[in-house]
Structure 1
Amino acid sequence: MSDWAAKRFWKSTAAVETEGGYKIELDGRPVKTPAKVLLVLPTAEMAAAVASEWDAQVDLIDPLTMPVTRGANAAVDKVSVQKDEVVEMLAAYGDSDLLCYRAVGPEELIARQADVWDPLLSWAKTRFDVTLTSAEGVTHVPQNPENLARLHAELDRMTPYQIAAAHDLISLSGSLIIALAVIDGFLSAEQGWDVSRVDENWQFEQWGEDEDARALESIKRQAFHDAAKFYKMAAT
């Protein structure tokens, strides 16, 4: 993103159909990624969102206000050129999924984790025929390779744009299962985020809220929501 011009230099923004999808034109000139590749969006909805982000820039271009553009750039410049490696990295979360590491105490936290996380593991069993093993503490518990292979296959069938969204959903939540539940529509984005924050919310309840921690959480929550929206745009 550092290669972008610092100031707005165009008057008109348009999404234009092209081979393989849609491109964004600024005064008739196509937008390219930071790697200088033509940015081609897979759906009309995503193209409209990217065009809207560019059109909303007033003076200085602020990439932080352009989550759809950033996601599309990542899909083109990063995921598409090394899809196998990215899928492998994301699939590895299944072997250390947040939902599988449970507190050793107190009882209220143990019960809360079970109440919120067990239904998701049951859903994964029904939806993907995947049974993940849970354990107390943080010591790594290896999962069945056959289960991991099924989760890997779910990621591998996604397009680079979908994988770019899945990357953020997984890394922000710490859970491949939560991400897949949001992608599949079993959880809303807000529900998925809340499910991933059981431990943190417990700590806030016990020790009080930390202003800096809450501010960081707000940023991450928004990024999680943005990723969920991006996935839907990519799949339209």
Structure 2
Amino acid sequence: MSDWKPKRFWKEATVVADADGHSVALDGRPVRTPAKALLVLPTRAMAEAVAAEWDAQGKVVDPESMPVTRSANAAIDKVRPQHAEVAEMLAAYGDSDLLCYRADHPDELVARQSAAWDPPLDWAETELSARLLPAAGVIHRPQDPRALAALGRRVHAMSPYHLAAFHDLVSMSGSLILGFAAALDWDRPEAIWQLSRLDELWQEEIWGVDDEARTLAERKGKAFMHAKRFYDLAG
């Protein structure tokens, strides 16, 4: 296995504004994505965040310390060429949304799910014109096509940068509604993330904490917070 790692070759990362948006240059040379596209960003705030990540590198480049750059690369190289497919995949979460699959026992869990998950569903009805209905059990129950269509239109209207962030907000929480709730500031992202983990937290109360599962949850939680930050940076 090769031990080669990319070395820092530049002195300064700067933000460059032009008609297409904002880009980042390393000693005057524009940064490109892994697919060799120009790294053109929709807002100055995002470009400044990317430039800061490049400036923070030491002698050896560590891609893991550059989350905004990685997300921007994904938006340009992966999401933009297949925008409709990604949007359709995410919109499909609405028909099997985490918030709509409820326990039928024990009573304490039933009450806890209702208290935690009914409010975001109520918010979605008011703010997104889409009412999703919860049901007990794990058998799929189709949602109102009109509600799903309203949610789908919003997903398809997102820019590639918003959609790249929204992908993680939805897929990590398992909920299209919680993805919208985080993106549109219904509550703090930390609180929304905890809503997505309600069943896991219940199991921890009953059976105790599994260290491996807790480590994975913490990693996913950090990624969820980054996705929210990237969504906001996209303007």
- Do the two structures share a fold, i.e. TM-score over 0.5? yes
1:7 aligned partner:
7
Q: Which runs of no fewer than 5 residues in structure 1 stay unpaired?
A: none
1:195 aligned partner:
195
Residue identity matched to 1:32: R
Runs (4 or more) in structure 1 with deviation over 3 Å come to none
**Equivalent-residue separation in structure 2 for 1:186 and 1:132 (angstroms):** 17
1:68 aligned partner:
68
| Cα offset, 1:18, TM superposition | 2.2
Work out whether residues 133 and 141 of structure 1, in 8 Å CA contact, stay in contact via their aligned partners in 2.
no
1:175 aligned partner:
175
1:45 aligned partner:
45
Report the TM-score when normalising by structure 2: 0.96
1:150-193: per-residue Cα shift (whole Å, max 9, x none)?
A: 00011111111001110010001000000101111112111110
| Cα offset, 1:230, TM superposition | 0.6
**Equivalent-residue separation in structure 1 for 2:226 and 2:166 (angstroms):** 11
**Equivalent-residue separation in structure 1 for 2:60 and 2:196 (angstroms):** 35
1:84 aligned partner:
84
Residue identity matched to 2:120: L
SS in 2 for 1:163: helix
1:46-78: per-residue Cα shift (whole Å, max 9, x none)?
A: 000000111111132222211111111111011
2:30 aligned partner:
30
Matched, 1:118 2:118: yes
**Equivalent-residue separation in structure 2 for 1:24 and 1:138 (angstroms):** 48
Residue identity matched to 1:51: A
Q: Which runs of no fewer than 5 residues in structure 2 stay unpaired?
A: none
1:160 aligned partner:
160
Report the TM-score when normalising by structure 1: 0.95
1:225 aligned partner:
225
1:25-57: per-residue Cα shift (whole Å, max 9, x none)?
A: 112111101110000011010000000111111
| Cα offset, 1:5, TM superposition | 6.3
